[in-house]
Amino acid sequence: MIGVDIVKNERIEKAIEKFGERFLVRIYTDKELDYCNSQEARVPCLAARWACKEAVLKAFYMEFGVLLRFKEIEVLGDRGKPARVIIHREEAKEFLKGRELLVSLSHERDYSVAVACIK
């Protein structure tokens, strides 16, 4: 099953300006925030993770009928290496036994995009 999402980076930037820390801690894990805060392009990094979480949500729901929350999906990676996802919900982890959850993220000046594939 495949999920995809695209987000305008400005949308995430405006959410941060409007809601600040409250928005960030509701959507992102500490590890995600630490990683993106260490990047020169902080907003595109956060936007790519938003898109990835959305893509994972879509794929997971379509494949298993389970609706995850944003904080239950953690998008990790090191610069230049493929991102990986950790699911932080025991019930949902059971569905993935013996399966792979693959993701790909990308961003440029205005947009961030992500694809998730459960195989």
Residue 77 has a pLDDT of 85
Report the pLDDT averaged over residues 95-109.
94
Cβ-Cβ contacts under 8 Å for 98 (sequence gap 6 or more): none
The response to whether 34 counts as a known ligand-binding position is no
13 is annotated as contributing to ligand binding: no
Residue range 18-66, pLDDT digits in tens: 999 999 999 999 999 999 999 999 999 999 999 999 999 999 999 999 9
Question: What structural domains does the chain harbor?
Answer: 2-118 (3.90.470.20)
- Report the DSSP beta bridge partners of residue 74: 86
Measured CA to CA in angstroms, residue 25 lies from 9, 13, 16, 104 at distances of 18, 15, 11, 23
114 has a pLDDT exceeding 80: yes
